[in-house]
Amino acid sequence: MEKNSADYIFGLHPVLEAFEAGKEFEKLFIQSGLRSAQVQQISKNARELNIPFQYVPIEKLNRITRKNHQGVVAYISPVSYQSVEQLVPMIYEAGKMPFIVVLDRITDVRNLGAIARTAYAAGADALLLPTRGSALITGDAMKTSAGALSKLTVCRAENLKESLDFLKESGLKIAAVTEKGSSPIWENKLEGPIALILGSEEDGVSPAYLQKADAKLQIPMPGAMESLNVSVAAGIACFEIVRQRIAAGV
C-alpha cells in the first residue's frame, strides 16, 4: 500500500535536485546493487550531510511506492534540524536555563507528535532525536503534534552518547524517566538546566544512557500496570519540571 506521497520523493533526478535545493532529509533508501554515477553521488551527498541511508532490496522500495522510483526513495523532513551544540549556548546567552527533551528510540510517529506537543506546551527549548532508530517526522507526526513540531526546535544527533556528554558538560542535569528509578519523580530537584530522557516504547531508556543519568525519575503507579505510554510519561515528567520551576520562581 502506497504511503502518504507528501512525506517522500523518488527517482534519481528529484532526489539529486532536493539535495541541490538544500532540502532536509529524514532518511534515504537506495536499491542494493545499483552503481550508476547518479546513485554514487546520492550516497556521497548523504554521507557528507550525515543523512541516514540504507541499501535495500527492490521489494522494500516497491512497498513504499508502485511508481517508477528508479531505485531511490527519500523521506523529506517537514522541519529544519538544528545542532544542539550550537543551541545550548544560545539558550544560556538569552538568560534562560536549558530544557531539552531527549527521545531514545521512540519509533511511533504518534508518540513523537504527542511528546512534541507536550514539550512545547511545557516550555521545552528543543527535542533531541538520534539520527537512526527514531520515528520519522512525517505528516502524521506533524498532525499529532497539533503544530508544535513547526514551532519547537528539533535537533538530531549522529551519536546520542556524545550529545549527552556535551549537555552534561554544559551544566545540564541528565534525568531519565524509568521504572528503575529509586525515588518518586517529585523527590528529585528538576528546576535547573535539564535534559529529560524518554525511552523506547518497548524497553525504556537504554542502559548506556541510564548510566549517564544524574537522576532516574520513577513515576509511582499504585494500579496494576507495569508501565505508561511514553507520551503520558512525558506529560507527567515535563509538567513536574514546570511545577518545580514555578515553585522556585524560575
Distance CA 154, CA 161 (A): 17
Instruction: Among 3.40.50.300, 2.30.42.10, 3.20.20.140, 3.40.1280.10, name the CATH number for the domain at 81-247.
Output: 3.40.1280.10
Distance CA 210, CA 175 (A): 9
Cβ(70)–Cβ(11) under 8 Å?
A: yes
Query: Could you state, in order of their start, the residue ranges of all structural domains in the chain?
Result: 5-76, 81-247
pTM given for the model: 0.86
Q: How many CA atoms lie within 13 A of 152 on its CB side?
A: 30
pLDDT in tens, 46-89: 999 888 899 999 999 999 999 999 999 999 888 889 999 999 99
CATH code of the region 5-76: 3.30.1330.30
**Residue 160, C-alpha cell as written in the block:** 546520542
pLDDT in tens, 94-134: 999 999 999 999 999 999 999 999 999 999 999 999 988 88
Per-residue pLDDT band at 1 (split at 50, 70, 90)? very low
